[in-house]
Amino acid sequence: MNPINYLYVASLLFTIGAVGVVVRRNAIVVFMCIELMLNAANLAFVTFARINGNLEGQIVAFFTMVIAACEVVIGLAIIVTIYRSRRSASVDDASLLSR
Amino acid sequence: MSSNLIGYLIGLPLFGAAALLLGGRRTNKWGHISATALSASSFALGLKLFNDMLALPTEERAMHQKLFSWIHVGGFQVDAGLLLDQLSICFVLLITGVGTLIHIYSIAYMSHDHDRRRFFAYLNLFISAMLLLVLGDSYLNLYVGWEGVGLASYLLIGFWNQKPAYATAAKKAFVMNRIGDMGLSFAIMISFVTFGAISFDSIKEAAPQASTAALTAIGIMLLVAATGKSAQFPLQAWLGDAMAGPTPVSALIHAATMVTAGVYLITRSNFIFDLAPNAQTAVAAIGAITLLFGALVGTAKDDIKKALAASTMSQIGYMILGAGLGPAGYAFAIMHLLTHGFFKAGMFLGAGSVMHGMNDEVNMRKYGALRKFMPITAITFGLGYLAIIGVPPFAGFYSKDKLIEVALNAGGIKGYLFGGAALLGAAITAFYMSRVVILTFFSQKRWDDNAHPHESPILMWLPMAILAIGSVASGFLFTSGDALKNWLEPVVASHGEGEHAELLPPMTVSVIALTLVAIGVGYAIFKYRAESNPNTPENVSIFTRIARRDLMQDAFNEAVFMRPGQVLTKSLVSIDENVIDGAVGGVGSAAVGSGQLLRKLQTGFVRSYAALMLLGVALLLLAIWVVTQ
């Protein structure tokens, strides 16, 4: 199969993720959409590694996974803390700094 | 070495001024005595130095004292140095001598003023600044003293600054003097560019190699400086108003010493003027114009001090005229300066004495027949009067007659013009001074009954008497055997100037001058002998009216300089407010406005930030795609 198709899938995933970040209010869903965009980027990296026949893209993908794991831990911790104090996980409610 | 003592001449009165100003009220009790003593000790030191100079051979008489290195930048080197030579010692003795007499006079004159200490502090400050002016060995050192006397003059004219008119007079004098000071600073800059040095000695050496254009420029700038300080045309308007100061100040600063600084400057710069004939002619022309100007103003003034001030202006015009006539005239200009220092200071003190006895009334029309009540004042004033109108054998006869003679012998059309002006001036001087004397001491009593004229105390009449002796004897002393001329020879030596043929023999000149003086005196006696009107007459000719308004000097200055200056200033202010401030303010409000607009984007909704970021990235990618296609 032509590896270009993987790039199409990656851009589709990224678009879904981006739209999700912009339109959804629930912090958990927004967070999942961010993960989706990260994974879309990962898929693109791996595909480019395959197309170019070297390992750089694969290595970057591993790094991304590690960073994404850390990010999940911190992000979930923030969301849980906010939820505890405000009884809401909506991103629109967390707008204290603009006032 | 006596040259190490020169600095003390300046230092003693300066110390007095500092002690009285810094010591404050504690020094109220003895301030006037210490100031007088310090001024007198400066005079004694001057006499000692003069004595030392007499003992030396002519060419070794000039003494230098280097105080310290002042400015040392690259090729520009100025030391704070003093030069005492035959010319400066004349001034030193005049300043400290007349200055000390006026200190003594002021002890009595100012005894009722609660601020007498401050007055004496300023007098001491003036003496030391004036000494620095005449003792500096370069134009820059002279400039320091020049500004110092300007400051002292300002402080003393405005001494009674609780009266707004007096404070304004002080300001007027200061501002008009600044214009002259600018001339002096330009002269210093041009001489530095031309010669690379500004000390008198080095310029004197280098002057013959310089171009005439540069020398003329320096000369004209020095003349501007002299017109400012010496109240010469066209910067003469401040002197009349300067009479707002206490009378001893008018006698010391605005008659005997400070206003003659311009004559000193021109005589000191003889090495420049002798090589710049055009500048020299300009000097003589200014002198001739001013001597007539002052004399005409003097004929119409009813304020005794203003009449004397106009006379001062006119007499300094004579000196400037003499100094502008080159080597033939310098010595006589200085001689007239010294004799004038005696008789005019004496007459001012006399006027102060009259005011003292007449409840500070200055209007001569409210005087009359005062000789019976103030005999000593009348006699001393009268001797000064005989000296100023040039009656032999009083001092003014010798000095003024010589100046008229030199002016007549200037050669060609110059001789007729300058000599004619000097002769005419002598006649008018005789008229207006006779008017002052007749209105004050003779004619009829015109004062109110609440005035009780009385003779002044000894502290006041003694200085007047000493100055009167000077007005009688000094002229004869200076001319016997050409004493002053020979004494000044090394400083103002003529370098083989071709002498012009004499237009008229000296005897004839004297006879003509005396005839004109007699006519002036006679006319004044005829006109004012029986004056009984205590008020200023109203229906007088247009000429009198113009003369009363100082020949429209203030109206001219107001119309030509002040009004356009105000318009210029106002338009510059409006340009500043609208254009420059507008640009600066515009930048500010543009920043504020764009901030207000951009602030709307900060909604606080994370999702809108994310959407904007997405949009931005998309636009960026689009731009890259467009560019790389």
Which element (helix H / strand E) includes B243?
none
Label residue B170 left, alpha or beta by phi (over 0 means left) and psi (-120 to 50 means alpha): alpha
Q: What is the pLDDT of residue B1?
A: 52
Number of A/B CB contacts below 8 angstroms equals 28
Write out pLDDT tens, residues B97-139: 999 999 999 999 888 888 889 999 999 999 999 999 999 989 9
> Nearest CB to B604: which of A21, A22, A95?
A95
| Lowest mean pLDDT across A6-15, A39-48, B75-84, B607-616 | B75-84
* Contact across the interface for A98 and B607, Cβ inside 8 Å: no
Q: What is the mean pLDDT of residues B589-605?
A: 88
Q: Minimal CA–CA distance to B610: which of A90, A21, A31?
A: A21
> Nearest CB to B614: which of A22, A30, A97?
A22
Q: Look at residue B154 and tell me whether its pLDDT is greater than 70.
A: yes
Burial B343-360 (b: 16+ CB within 10 A, else e): bbbbbbbbbbbbbbbbee
Please identify which residue in the block is written with the tokens 């005449």. Answer: B134
| Lowest mean pLDDT across B328-332, B604-608, B616-620 | B604-608
Please identify which residue in the block is written with the tokens 């930030």. Answer: B609
Reported confidence tier of residue B478, pLDDT bands at 50, 70, 90: confident
Contacts of B613 in chain A (CB under 8 A): none
Residues in CB range of B268: below 8 A, 6 or more apart: B87, B142, B200, B491
* Contact across the interface for A92 and B614, Cβ inside 8 Å: no
| Lowest mean pLDDT across B166-175, B305-314, B504-513 | B504-513
Q: Look at residue B605 and tell me whether its pLDDT is greater than 70.
A: yes
> Are B304 and B362 contacting, i.e. CB atoms less than 8 angstroms apart?
yes
Q: Are strands B76-84 and B63-73 parallel, antiparallel or unpaired?
A: antiparallel
Residues in CB range of B309: below 8 A, 6 or more apart: B239, B240, B242, B243, B250, B254, B255
Q: Minimal CA–CA distance to B134: which of B400, B562, B491, B472?
A: B491
Report which of residues B481 and B265 the model is more confident about: B265
> Nearest CB to B610: which of A22, A96, A98?
A22
> Are B291 and B128 contacting, i.e. CB atoms less than 8 angstroms apart?
no
> Nearest CB to A92: which of B602, B607, B614?
B607
Give Cα separations from B48 to B45, B58, B89, B190 (angstroms). 5, 17, 11, 37
DSSP summary character for residue B254: I
Which element (helix H / strand E) includes B84?
strand B76-84
Q: What is the pLDDT of residue A99?
A: 58
- Structural tokens at position B74: 């690259």
Contacts of A28 in chain B (CB under 8 A): none
| Among chain B residues, CA nearest to A96 | B604
Give the CA angle between residues B420, B426, B427 to the nearest 5°.
95
Q: What is the pLDDT of residue B562?
A: 85
Q: How many CA atoms lie within 13 A of B389 on its CB side?
A: 27
* Contact across the interface for A91 and B607, Cβ inside 8 Å: yes
pTM score, two decimals?
0.79
Q: What is the pLDDT of residue B500?
A: 56
Contacts of B610 in chain A (CB under 8 A): 21-22
Q: What is the mean pLDDT of residues B498-520?
A: 79
Q: Look at residue B496 and tell me whether its pLDDT is greater than 50.
A: no
> Nearest CB to A91: which of B603, B606, B611?
B606
| Among chain A residues, CA nearest to B614 | A18
Q: List the single best residue of B607, B609, B615 to mutate versus A (max A Cβ within 10 A).
A: B607
Q: What is the pLDDT of residue B494?
A: 57
Q: What is the pLDDT of residue B499?
A: 55
Q: List the single best residue of A92, A93, A96, A99 to mutate versus B (max B Cβ within 10 A).
A: A92
> Nearest CB to A22: which of B603, B604, B611?
B611
Reported confidence tier of residue A10, pLDDT bands at 50, 70, 90: very high
DSSP summary character for residue B255: I
Q: List the single best residue of A14, A16, A21 to mutate versus B (max B Cβ within 10 A).
A: A21
CA of B602 vs chain A CAs: smallest distance (Å): 7
| Among chain A residues, CA nearest to B611 | A22
CA of B594 vs chain A CAs: smallest distance (Å): 18
A23 and chain B in contact, CB less than 8 A: yes
* Contact across the interface for A18 and B614, Cβ inside 8 Å: yes
| Lowest mean pLDDT across B212-226, B300-314, B544-558 | B544-558
- Alpha helix stretches (DSSP H) within B234-323: 238-241, 247-251, 261-268, 270-273, 277-300, 304-323
- DSSP string computed for B557-585: HIIIIIHHHHHHHHHHHHHIIIIIHHHHH
A99 and chain B in contact, CB less than 8 A: yes
DSSP summary character for residue B455: P
Contacts of B605 in chain A (CB under 8 A): 91-92, 95, 98
- DSSP string computed for B376-421: HHHHHHHHHHHHHHT-TTSHHHHHHHHHHHHHHTT-HHHHHHHHHH
Q: What is the mean pLDDT of residues B232-260?
A: 88
- In percent, the amount of chain B with pLDDT more than 90 equals 42
Tell me how long chain A is. 99
Q: Minimal CA–CA distance to B102: which of B341, B374, B370, B437?
A: B341
Q: What is the pLDDT of residue B429?
A: 92
Distance, CA of B611 to CA of B109 (rounded, Å): 92
Reported confidence tier of residue A34, pLDDT bands at 50, 70, 90: very high
Write out pLDDT tens, residues B396-420: 888 888 888 888 888 778 888 998 9
Q: Look at residue A48 and tell me whether its pLDDT is greater than 90.
A: yes
Which residues 60-89 on chain A approach chain B with CB closer than 8 angstroms? none
Report which of residues B24 and A65 the model is more confident about: A65
Which element (helix H / strand E) includes B158?
none
Please identify which residue in the block is written with the tokens 């109220």. Answer: B28
Label residue B85 left, alpha or beta by phi (over 0 means left) and psi (-120 to 50 means alpha): beta
| Among chain B residues, CA nearest to A18 | B614
* Contact across the interface for B606 and A22, Cβ inside 8 Å: no
Contacts of A14 in chain B (CB under 8 A): none
Distance, CA of B450 to CA of B357 (rounded, Å): 12
One-letter-per-residue 3-state SS of B514-555 = HHHHHHHHHHHHHHHCCCCCCCCCCCCCHHHHHHHCHHHHHH
Which residues are B69's β-sheet partners?
B79
Q: Look at residue B498 and tell me whether its pLDDT is greater than 60.
A: no
Label residue B359 left, alpha or beta by phi (over 0 means left) and psi (-120 to 50 means alpha): left
> Are B197 and B206 contacting, i.e. CB atoms less than 8 angstroms apart?
yes
Contact residues of B toward A, CB < 8 A: 602-607, 610-611, 614
Write out pLDDT tens, residues B191-211: 988 888 888 888 888 888 888
* Contact across the interface for A98 and B610, Cβ inside 8 Å: no
Which element (helix H / strand E) includes A2?
none
| Domains of chain A (ranges, CATH numbers) | 4-90 (1.10.287.3510)
Q: What is the mean pLDDT of residues B351-379?
A: 87
Reported confidence tier of residue A87, pLDDT bands at 50, 70, 90: confident
Residues in CB range of A66: below 8 A, 6 or more apart: none
> Are B390 and B516 contacting, i.e. CB atoms less than 8 angstroms apart?
no
